[in-house]
């Protein structure tokens, strides 16, 4: 959509393709794919000035990560694409070549070097209500004049452009099938599919996510939004961002505490630990292992992956102790403000989605958690047992 919009606003023509399309048009053999690749570049040059867009660029794999068999198959096509880019540049035609991928790190190094696809631009989901509203209005077209787009904002916080496009397309198809104009209800039916969860399960999920959001806010992480809307196997999510691009050990401990806060809320206020925290536990464990063996934050500068060994028994033991201690920390934070956490849970059940601004306003009645001189709240000693009370969070941070 972005590439097509760029072409439209600039008055240039637009051509698009994908690696998958190169193989599906024709007999699917390497020769046909090569001809389709060359045809794509030919069309871009002939249509100049042109925006030429190649989707799912990572379908063209990096030669450095392939085994011998894969390398023998893919190298001719990768090499051809590189030389075709060079031919495009040498033509002198006004062609803007754009590629899209969700996995930039999987691209062949020669493909992204200077002179080829060297400029990297991150395109994330809309970050503000205005951006999200503009996205809906773009896809709704003239239908936006009859639909209260503002009423959709809370329900769709964190939505990707692809999701918005899909909702509008399906809502429009529903209305067309009934020979009428699309309505707000058609859109809401797509955004909020039937929820078969019991009230008890909804409350369990809301409590878990409220725990994440509360602890994140108290520790100074910016909560972007929190949702208990079901999406596939994901029942709820909190999106938050670190206040720094260079996290210290204290920041890592804060991240882990936030990741464990859902489980802490389950234990403190719910029915106890449950199976809904597996993604959180994976995130917390990876953060601590990386701090020990990749980032030099625990007394040794050895880079574990360079040794090609699994985490040492000492690291595993230390990580387990840290997890226990930071879970206890999260539980203590939640217990200190029990009534506020439970009130946030009730608010989330009612609204289903809360923006970061709404969470901050709701929690502003209480002071932030005291922090030590090292920049992190006091943590129980290594190996500390959780308090006597017996559960996806997404945190943006540098790689």
Domains of the chain: 2-111 (3.40.50.300), 129-191 (1.10.8.60), 199-396 (1.20.58.760)
Is residue 205 over pLDDT 90? yes
Token pair 């972005």 is found at 2
pLDDT at 122: 85
Relative to beta strand 95-99, strand 13-18 is unpaired
Is residue 374 over pLDDT 90? no
Mean pLDDT of 88-116: 90
* Phi, psi torsion values for 272, nearest 5 degrees: 105, 180
Is residue 300 over pLDDT 90? no
Q: Kindly report the average pLDDT of the chain as a whole number.
A: 85
Q: Between these two residues, 350 and 393, which has the higher pLDDT value?
A: 350
Is residue 193 over pLDDT 80? no
Q: Between these two residues, 383 and 275, which has the higher pLDDT value?
A: 275
Is residue 372 over pLDDT 70? no
Mean pLDDT of 49-66: 89
Confidence class of residue 234 from pLDDT cuts 50, 70 and 90? low
Q: Are 63 and 74 in contact (CB under 8 A)?
A: yes
Mean pLDDT of 349-367: 85
Confidence class of residue 398 from pLDDT cuts 50, 70 and 90? very low
Confidence class of residue 381 from pLDDT cuts 50, 70 and 90? very low
pLDDT at 137: 93
Confidence class of residue 395 from pLDDT cuts 50, 70 and 90? very low
pLDDT at 393: 57
Q: Between these two residues, 233 and 126, which has the higher pLDDT value?
A: 126
Residues 67-96 pLDDT 10s: 888 888 899 999 999 999 999 999 999 999
- How many other C-beta atoms can be found within 10 angstroms of the C-beta atom of residue 132? 21
Q: Are 87 and 95 in contact (CB under 8 A)?
A: no
pLDDT at 236: 75
Q: Between these two residues, 284 and 191, which has the higher pLDDT value?
A: 284
User: Residue 27 to residues 22, 79, 80: CA-CA distances in angstroms?
Assistant: 10, 21, 19
Mean pLDDT of 341-359: 91
Q: Which two tokens stand for residue 372?
A: 């030590």
pLDDT at 178: 96
Is residue 390 over pLDDT 60? no
Residues 240-253 pLDDT 10s: 777 788 899 999 99
pLDDT at 375: 36
| Residue from 110, 80, 91, 65 nearest 19 by CA | 80
Measured distance CA(62)–CA(109) in Å, rounded = 7
Is residue 264 over pLDDT 90? yes
Residues 20-39 pLDDT 10s: 999 988 887 889 999 999 99
Half-sphere exposure of 63 (CA within 13 A, CB side): 14
């Amino acid at each position: 959509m972005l590439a097509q919009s760029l072409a439209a606003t600039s008055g240039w023509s637009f051509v698009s393709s994908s690696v998958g399309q190169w193989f599906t048009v024709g007999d699917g053999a390497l020769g046909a794919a090569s001809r389709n690749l060359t045809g794509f570049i030919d069309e871009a040059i002939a249509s100049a000035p042109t925006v030429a867009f190649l989707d799912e660029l990572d379908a063209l794999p990096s030669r450095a990560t392939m085994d011998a068999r894969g390398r023998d198959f893919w190298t001719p096509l990768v090499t051809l694409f590189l030389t075709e880019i060079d031919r495009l540049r040498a033509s002198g035609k006004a062609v803007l070549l754009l590629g899209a991928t969700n996995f930039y790190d999987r691209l062949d190094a020669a493909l992204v070097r200077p002179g080829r696809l060297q400029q990297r631009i991150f395109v994330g989901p809309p970050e503000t209500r205005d951006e999200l509203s503009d996205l809906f209005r773009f896809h709704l077209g003239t239908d936006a004049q009859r639909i209260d787009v503002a009423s959709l904002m809370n329900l769709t916080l964190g939505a990707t452009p692809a999701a918005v496009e899909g909702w509008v397309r399906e809502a429009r198809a529903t209305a067309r099938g009934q020979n009428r104009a699309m309505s707000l209800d058609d859109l809401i039916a797509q955004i909020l599919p039937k929820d078969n969860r019991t009230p008890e399960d909804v409350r369990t999920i809301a409590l878990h996510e409220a725990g994440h959001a509360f602890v994140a806010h108290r520790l100074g992480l910016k909560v972007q939004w929190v949702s208990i809307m079901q999406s596939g196997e994901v029942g709820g999510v909190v999106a938050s961002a670190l206040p720094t691009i260079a996290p210290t050990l204290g920041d890592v401990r804060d991240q882990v505490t936030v990741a464990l806060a859902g489980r802490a809320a389950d234990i403190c206020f719910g029915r106890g630990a449950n199976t809904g925290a597996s993604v959180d536990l994976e995130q917390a464990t990876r953060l601590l292992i990386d701090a020990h063996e990749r980032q030099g934050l625990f007394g040794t500068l050895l880079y574990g992956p360079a040794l090609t060994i699994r985490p040492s028994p000492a690291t595993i033991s230390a990580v387990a102790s840290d997890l226990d201690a930071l879970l206890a920390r999260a539980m203590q934070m939640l217990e200190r403000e029990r009534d506020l956490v439970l009130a946030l849970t009730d608010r989330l059940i009612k609204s289903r989605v809360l923006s970061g601004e709404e969470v901050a306003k709701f929690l502003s009645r209480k002071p932030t958690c005291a922090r030590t001189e090292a920049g992190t709240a006091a943590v129980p000693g290594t190996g500390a047992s959780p308090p006597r009370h017996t559960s996806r969070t997404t945190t943006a941070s540098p790689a």
